[in-house]
Amino acid sequence: MGEKNGKRAQVTIFIIVAIMIVVVILGLIYLMNRGGEAVRPSDLGPRDFIAGCVGDVVRDSVDKMLENGGEILPSQAISYQGNEWGYLCYQADFYQGCYNIHPMLELQIESEIERDTSVGVQSCFNSMREDFENRGYDVKGGATEYSVDLLPGYVKVSLKKDIEISSESGAKSFNDFSLEVVSPIYNLVRVTREIVNSESQFCYFEYNGYMLLYPEYDIRRVDYRDSKMYRVIDRRSGDEFKFAVRSCAFAPGI
């Protein structure tokens, strides 16, 4: 009798262990499948929704600034390898140092980003409103206060807007939607300013020596026609700031 009870106990234990193994396997499969799912907008709160949307809009604009010498579209440029390289320092005459044509480059870029993204930022709030209204909420919004600041290592996006989201169960108010977008653009602009100042004063910038002092940057220069094409690259991120300089150009035939 005791032997039969022992066997039954063993069988019961085996069954319990098998069930536990199956449950664990099913749980892992479920978690793996969830890990591959994209987060839907309706899964996000208003702050997360705006942070994701506005972050993408600002990042796209920062990429334009890096590509076009700090402007949405270069105002004065030279065509090189199928792309327009914006001049930051220019002198039309020969043998003379260039003039810094964008002396307030950092402030200019901040203004350009704000101008380039203002419509996109408002579209983010419109999309958020539509998403919450589709879920049965009532959404009210006030005026938008928006500004951009370049800071070491990131772009600070100051974004204020009174938003009230309500339903039958109650209402919640939101005001501050500020965020930070990681980017080396501030540091790249700082290096660019040093290059432009040197080209303006001395018609030359010792970029090889500069890289020895600051190995986090890779500075490349190509002489094309009577201009210099500069690429200032942040080694860590791979982001680069492109611009052109025409300074102390030699007359043809010399």
Helix (H) or strand (E) holding 224: strand 217-224
Asked, for residue 118, whether it belongs to a domain, the answer is yes
Of the pLDDT bands very low, low, confident and very high (cuts 50, 70, 90), residue 239 is very high
Asked, for residue 152, whether it belongs to a domain, the answer is yes
Looking at the structure, tell me whether residues 219 and 176 fall in a common domain: yes
* CB 109 within 8 Å of CB 102: no
pLDDT tens digits, 17-69: 666 765 656 655 555 554 444 334 444 688 999 999 999 999 999 999 999 99
Position 35 scores a pLDDT of: 44
Percentage of the chain exceeding pLDDT 70: 82
Of the pLDDT bands very low, low, confident and very high (cuts 50, 70, 90), residue 78 is very high
Asked, for residue 60, whether it belongs to a domain, the answer is yes
Position 247 scores a pLDDT of: 86
Helix (H) or strand (E) holding 64: helix 46-67
CA separation for the pair 22, 115 (Å, rounded): 57
Position 42 scores a pLDDT of: 46
Looking at the structure, tell me whether residues 67 and 180 fall in a common domain: yes
* CB 245 within 8 Å of CB 231: no
**What mean pLDDT is predicted for residues 232-244?**
97
Domain hosting residue 218, numbered range: 41-246
CA separation for the pair 238, 235 (Å, rounded): 5
Looking at the structure, tell me whether residues 45 and 9 fall in a common domain: no
pTM of the predicted structure, to 2 decimals: 0.78
Looking at the structure, tell me whether residues 152 and 69 fall in a common domain: yes
pLDDT tens digits, 166-204: 887 888 888 899 999 999 999 999 999 999 999 999 999
CA separation for the pair 16, 147 (Å, rounded): 61
Percentage of the chain exceeding pLDDT 90: 62
Asked, for residue 222, whether it belongs to a domain, the answer is yes
Looking at the structure, tell me whether residues 24 and 110 fall in a common domain: no
Longest CA–CA separation in the chain, Å: 113
Looking at the structure, tell me whether residues 92 and 188 fall in a common domain: yes
Looking at the structure, tell me whether residues 102 and 12 fall in a common domain: no
Please report, for residues 10, 50, 170, 198, the alpha-carbon distance to residue 131 in angstroms, rounded to integers and kept in the order given: 56, 12, 18, 52
Of the pLDDT bands very low, low, confident and very high (cuts 50, 70, 90), residue 96 is confident
**What mean pLDDT is predicted for residues 118-124?**
95
Looking at the structure, tell me whether residues 22 and 60 fall in a common domain: no
Q: Is the pLDDT of residue 156 over 50?
A: yes
Asked, for residue 253, whether it belongs to a domain, the answer is no
Position 94 scores a pLDDT of: 84
Q: Which residue has the higher pLDDT, 199 or 11?
A: 199
Looking at the structure, tell me whether residues 32 and 80 fall in a common domain: no
CA separation for the pair 128, 140 (Å, rounded): 11
- Number of domains present in the structure of the chain: 2
Looking at the structure, tell me whether residues 126 and 145 fall in a common domain: yes
CA separation for the pair 15, 5 (Å, rounded): 15
Looking at the structure, tell me whether residues 80 and 186 fall in a common domain: yes
Position 40 scores a pLDDT of: 42
Provide the phi-psi class of 129: left if phi over 0, else alpha when psi is between -120 and 50, else beta: alpha
Which residues are registered as beta bridge partners of 236? Answer: none
Position 245 scores a pLDDT of: 96
CA separation for the pair 195, 191 (Å, rounded): 6
Position 166 scores a pLDDT of: 86
Position 23 scores a pLDDT of: 60
Mean pLDDT of the chain: 86
Looking at the structure, tell me whether residues 23 and 82 fall in a common domain: no
**What mean pLDDT is predicted for residues 107-111?**
96
Residue with tokens 């020596």: 209
Of the pLDDT bands very low, low, confident and very high (cuts 50, 70, 90), residue 137 is confident
Q: Is the pLDDT of residue 250 over 90?
A: no
**What mean pLDDT is predicted for residues 208-232?**
95
